[in-house]
Amino acid sequence: MSESASTASGIAGRYALAVFDLVREAKGVKTLEADVTALEGALNESADFRALISSPVYSRDEQAAAVAAIAKKMKLSGILANTLGLMASNRRLFVLPQLLATLRAMIADEKGEVTADVTAAADLSKAQATKLAATLKASVGKDVKLNIAVDESLIGGLIVKVGSKMIDTSIRSKLASLQNSMKEVG
């Protein structure tokens, strides 16, 4: 991890911990989850929003005013809206994506859930996704939320990442392993 990425995750972690503790005391975790989802969607959909949080061209006051307007328009909770304003005044909005990811993980932990990143060679059917989630739940002992992506270069199979564990059953990795074995022999 680069030094700047480490610094950003450290800053985001401190803000996330403060926000989460305040929200949990106020019993507003469900509202925070909706706010995080809304902000993630806005970041994914709006290049202007991404530019606002990362560009040094905007002054602190411009960022604070823009974030306040966004928070009002999105009807974000007071705690999160105030935190975004504080981040703007401290020139820390660039860590917003890491903040949202950290808050998402804290919310999942609070709910007893874990997120599994699944990369499949083709789209999983609803039945396949349900069966995979049930199998992973039996393995990790928590409810599992699947984050599914498709990568056709896998040829077949899955790559599943849960926490620090990774299971790679893709045909691509099996072929690579077989190729390495053949190189060693010949």
What's the rounded Cα separation, in Å, for the pair 19 and 37? 15
Residue with the two structure tokens 């606002």? 52
CA 25 to chain CA mean position, Å? 23
**3-109 is a CATH 1.10.520.20 domain:** yes
SS3 per-residue string spanning the chain? CCHHHHHHHHHHHHHHHHHHHHHHHCCCHHHHHHHHHHHHHHHHHCHHHHHHHHCCCCCHHHHHHHHHHHHHHHCCCHHHHHHHHHHHHCCCHHHHHHHHHHHHHHHHHHHCEEEEEEEECCCCCHHHHHHHHHHHHHHHCCEEEEEEEECHHHCCCEEEEECCEEEECCHHHHHHHHHHHHHHHC
The 10s digit of each residue's pLDDT in 162-185 is 988 999 999 999 999 999 998 888
pLDDT at 33: 95
Contact predicate 112/144, CB 8 Å: no
pLDDT at 25: 95
Q: Over 70: is that where the pLDDT of 77 sits?
A: yes
Classify strands 158-162 and 143-150 as parallel, antiparallel or unpaired. Answer: unpaired
Would you kindly state where each structural domain of the chain is located, as residue ranges? 3-109, 113-185
Residue with the two structure tokens 């005044």? 89
Q: At what angle do helices 78-89 and 96-111 cross, to 10 degrees?
A: 150
What's the rounded Cα separation, in Å, for the pair 84 and 122? 38
Report the candidate in 126, 76, 113 with the shortest Cα–Cα distance to residue 96: 76
Contact predicate 52/63, CB 8 Å: yes
Higher pLDDT among residues 46 and 164, named by residue: 46
The 10s digit of each residue's pLDDT in 112-147 is 899 899 999 999 999 999 999 999 999 998 999 999
Classify strands 113-120 and 158-162 as parallel, antiparallel or unpaired. Answer: antiparallel
pLDDT at 17: 95
Q: What percentage of the chain reaches a pLDDT higher than 90?
A: 83
